[in-house]
Amino acid sequence: MKKLSIIFILALSFSIMSCGSTTEKPDGGDTTKVENNKEKKVKNSDTSKEVKPEYLTYETFKEKVWDFEKNPEEWKYEGTVPCVIDFYADWCKPCKMVAPIMDDLAKKYEGEVKIYKIDTDKEKKLAGVFGIRSIPSVLFSPMEGRPMMQTGALQKDAYIKIIDEELLNKKTITNK
């Protein structure tokens, strides 16, 4: 048994010594790879940025979505692609269930649909403009026409169906 423990320790030590370790600089630049006690600079090949929903404030909402102060009577969408706006609060459990769905939708529809988030506790004025009384509330804004509001948490498939059919005018095929 003692021999087996010594062999295991030696094997573990050998594998640790032979593996290179990599540390990444916080600035996202080169990485330093340590192999056999020699450092080598290695260029990062992963330059992809993580796609996430964008958080809007009162001012950025007016800039990117609708300037309701200029056009209070008429919805005039300012974006270049349709958008989905998740009105949420950090303390809301259903909002926390919707958050990872919105993250996934931001990745899935990158370049086709913009996913925004508005914290109703921080942006009370915006919540008031839309009469948000229940969260999560999700606003779907097409390029043309009026937006539609959905209250309550939905399954991911339901959000995809609404985006595909209402914002992108795609027919959703269901497997039955």
pLDDT at residue 171, rounded to an integer? 73
pLDDT at 158 over 90: yes
Question: Looking at the annotation, which residues are catalytic?
Answer: 92, 95
pLDDT at residue 48, rounded to an integer? 55
pLDDT at residue 52, rounded to an integer? 96
pLDDT tens for each residue of 8-59: 333 333 333 333 333 333 344 443 344 444 444 444 444 457 899 999 999 9
pLDDT tens for each residue of 59-115: 999 999 999 999 889 999 999 999 999 999 999 999 999 999 999 999 999 999 999
13 to each of 17, 19, 32, how far by Cα in Å?
Answer: 6, 10, 22
Whole-prediction pTM value? Answer: 0.70
Considering the four listed CATH numbers 3.40.50.150, 3.40.50.1370, 3.40.30.10, 3.30.200.20, the one that applies to the domain covering 54-167 is: 3.40.30.10
Tokens of 125: 């004025």
pLDDT at residue 6, rounded to an integer? 39
Distance CA(3)–CA(1), nearest Å, equals 5
- Residue 71 neighbours by CB under 8 Å, 6+ apart: none
Q: What residue segments make up the domains of the chain, in order of their start?
A: 2-42, 54-167
Other CB atoms within 10 Å distance of the CB of residue 139: 19
pLDDT at residue 170, rounded to an integer? 86
Looking at the chain, which runs of residues are DSSP E strands? 21-24, 31-35, 38-42, 54-55, 83-88, 114-119, 137-141, 148-151
Q: What is the mean pLDDT of residues 118-129?
A: 96
